[in-house]
Amino acid sequence: MYLAQIVDNEEVKSNFYVDIFESVVSNPNSSRKALVDNAILDAVHIANGDKDIFSIDNSYYFLVTTLLQDFKDRLIELNSVQTIPKEVYSQILTILR
């Protein structure tokens, strides 16, 4: 049996992003914040129809698709923001857990 058959990839990816979001919530100056912000902003543009999902960076594809599935209404509300509000990181963390 291969490792890929016994490991739930979505759970592993989710745990990976939980760690990143915990880091950003506890330290807003975290070096990981840029990756998170890019993913959130791409998800915002996709949710609002301004960008095609196939054009995003595949390094955070799972995060973007998770946000589109579970956080789309909030993403649409964020359409005009240039800076992600602090509470958004905690809200996303709750979804990922």
- pLDDT of 8 reads 54
Q: What is the pLDDT of residues 11-26, one digit of tens each?
A: 667 788 889 999 999 9
Q: Which residue type is seen at 58?
A: N
Exposure string of 1-37, with b = 16+ CB inside 10 Å and e = fewer, is eeeeeeeeeeeebbeebeebbbbbeeeeebeebebbe
Going from the C-alpha of 66 to that of each of 3, 27, 30, 62, the distances in angstroms are 23, 23, 22, 6
Q: What is the pLDDT of residues 28-62, one digit of tens each?
A: 888 889 889 999 999 999 999 999 999 988 888 88
The pTM of this model reads: 0.83
